[in-house]
Structure 1
Amino acid sequence: MRNITDLIEQYLKQILQSSSEGSVEIQRSDLADKFSCVPSQINYVISTRFTLEKGYYVESKRGGGGYIRIQRVDLPSLDAIQNHIQQTVGKEIDQLTAEGLIYQLEEARFVTKREAHLLKTAVSRDALTLTLPLRDQIRAKLLKAMLIALLAK
């Protein structure tokens, strides 16, 4: 059985997918009631699963009439993707940011699930057993080279 965070994430992604504007506005308490959980669980899902690195922009307003707005940030074209990769990766990149970029490319269907898994494995700190900052520099060079090869297919 899947856990509550996965269920909340999938629910929000389904709502986003069916939205004509590509965004959704929710109230934390309503969502918590729907899933019979505490509002902090909703905060956790949003702060870990809907990040800018993963292709989402989140706006939050607290208080009585408060809301959370989640908007999908789409990657439009191959040229834009290549520019985005150059800006995101730079001369060095940490593992979390690299995984976020890979996730975003997979969600936008620029890479397959299998390719994403291979990319994540290749740039993991388990594979790159070097000290910082060398590890982040090597990760950046590997990631750029692999993405250029994959996106040129």
Structure 2
Amino acid sequence: MKMSDVIADFIGEMLSSGGGVAEVQRKSLADRFSCVPSQINYVIETRFTPEHGYLVESQRGGGGYIRIVRLMDDKQRTLLEAARGIGGRLTQNDAARLMRALLSAELLTAREAQLLLSACSDGALAEVDKADRDRLRAAIFRCAVMGIATT
């Protein structure tokens, strides 16, 4: 396991035990892992970003700290990752398969899944040229899942 992964896991555990908030001092964390403080910066800047569901605040100086706040829970983060993973095209069968996977993982309610499946069906997209349906379906599916994740 890479040092970055070890540090990220440690901070993740701090977030879990701290109710979604972790306050660290760069130097003490670097001493703990026998690395340079810039390694801590790297981990925080790449793993704990708003896109990953975190807010980072820092106070510089002798008593300085870095506070990391989890903005999204694991369900929201997983849904956003699923939405980002949808390619540029999505067939009706692939949409149904993905929706069933999200439903079985309890990331969507039965109602959300049914609405999503209906909105992405060939019937709903009947007015759209067949060549454009899969592209539009992917965009609808992605936007709907992101909307569910952020509400």
Range of TM-score over shorter length: 0.5 to 0.7
Structure 1 distance, partners of 2:136, 2:76, is 16
Q: Which has the larger radius of gyration?
A: 2
Structure 2 distance, partners of 1:144, 1:40, is 41
2:42 equivalent in structure 1: 44
> Aligned AA for 2:144?
I
2:141 equivalent in structure 1: 145
Q: How far apart are residue 141 of structure 1 and its match?
A: 7.5
> Aligned AA for 1:74?
M
In the comparison of the two structures, how many residue pairs are matched? 100
SS at match of 2:13: helix
In percent, how many aligned pairs have the same letter? 47
1:91 equivalent in structure 2: none
Q: How far apart are residue 63 of structure 1 and its match?
A: 1.3
1:142–1:29 Cα change, 3 Å: same
Moved over 6 A (4+): none
Correspondence 1:4-153 to 2 at 5 A: 4-20=3-19, 22-74=20-72, 105-106=77-78, 110=79, 116=82, 119-120=84-85, 122=87, 142-146=138-142, 148=144
- TM-score (norm: length of structure 1): 0.55
Q: Could you list the runs of 5+ residues in structure 1 that have no partner in the other structure?
A: 76-102, 124-138
Structure 1 distance, partners of 2:12, 2:51, is 16
Q: Could you list the runs of 5+ residues in structure 2 that have no partner in the other structure?
A: 89-134
> Aligned AA for 1:15?
M
